[in-house]
Structure 1
């Protein structure tokens, strides 16, 4: 049996106007979904489906911790997530996905919510995910610092190593100085 089979919801055979499901999301779930950002974690997803006038209103509540790579050192870091999302599903002639509205064909009224849950989790992960100061991988930060030149003067007034262009006496393009200011602010 496929790990994601338990995430299939059969709308045609729903016996009541309201149905509730609980899903425990673990590493096996994230591996089976094969997403690119979140590869592991532990979370709970509660799903409540309410039928109303031919439409099914799905309300997802997802809470837990997922592991994503740090943008700076590439080590895994924990990100706490909590999401409350809604999706409306209707039955129609052919499949359509229009943001918060999905139309499923009448003959195939089974919806696998695994990918939908994964997408809601990814939407909760911040655009930039970086460890707290001092928690990044020390070896990676040293390697990064060895290849990163941010300014020609250290805070204590001593000179840093110069870039290859500065050492050769070539003038440095002034646009690089503006980019270095951005690096100095991070």
Structure 2
């Protein structure tokens, strides 16, 4: 996969201190990663790079909304996202990204590509169960919700099932209480 140019930061020409980078993320970014869970996305990523003499510190912040389908009703809705992540970039003999928040790059490198970190920051900010806010507060009017309500077992049916216990179980319960 060829890296996206706009996410490559040439740090060799930067002065020691803090530098800010802003990115607007839409679905074209996710098409690059072949990730199609989002109907649309409107995200802003702020990256603060602090260059020090021996290392780089990056602080990522993402905020915005993505339009996704509800897991219960399959209705699209806007899911707000907010997440942040810190990354330390050190210099070493060879490239090593085995540690989650420490990246080691060779001494001769002059730029860093952050597209994978931005992608993971956004995808990991998504909730595991995506539920439309209208489902939680009961304001969503959906055919799927009506069908689910129609097919769900009623409390009356559950109580009747519990009352109709096989008499053989009662005899077995007596064995436990006779001790």
TM norm. shorter chain > 0.5: yes
Match of 2:142 among 112, 135, 138: 138
Q: Post-superposition shift, 1:69?
A: 2.7
Gaps of 5+ in 2: 159-165, 167-179
State the match for 1:96 in structure 2.
96
C-alpha deviations, 1:14-68, integer Å up to 9, x for none?
Answer: 3212322111111222222333644631011111111224110001121111123
The alignment status of 1:66 with 2:66, answered yes or no, reads yes
Q: Matches of residues 1-186 of structure 1 in structure 2 within 5 Å?
A: 4-11=4-11, 13-17=12-16, 18-35=18-35, 37-38=37-38, 40-97=40-97, 98-132=99-133, 133=135, 134=138, 138-142=142-146, 144=148, 148=151, 150-151=152-153, 154-155=154-155, 157=156
Contact 1:20 / 1:48 at 8 angstroms: preserved in 2? yes
1:16–1:84 distance in 2 versus 1, CA, 3 Å: same
1:109–1:76 distance in 2 versus 1, CA, 3 Å: farther
Q: Secondary structure at the match of 1:96?
A: coil
Contact 2:30 / 2:36 at 8 angstroms: preserved in 1? no
Gaps of 5+ in 1: 160-170, 172-186
Determine the C-alpha separation between the residues in 2 that align with 1:49 and 1:121. Answer: 19
Q: Post-superposition shift, 1:73?
A: 2.1
Deviation above 4 Å: which 4+ runs of structure 1?
36-39, 134-137, 142-146
TM-score w.r.t. structure 1 length?
Answer: 0.68
Contact 1:57 / 1:86 at 8 angstroms: preserved in 2? yes
Q: Post-superposition shift, 1:3?
A: 8.9
Determine the C-alpha separation between the residues in 1 that align with 2:148 and 2:113. Answer: 43
| Count of aligned pairs between the two proteins | 154
Q: Which has the larger radius of gyration?
A: 2
1:21–1:76 distance in 2 versus 1, CA, 3 Å: same
TM-score w.r.t. structure 2 length?
Answer: 0.70
- Aligned-residue CA RMSD (Å): 3.0
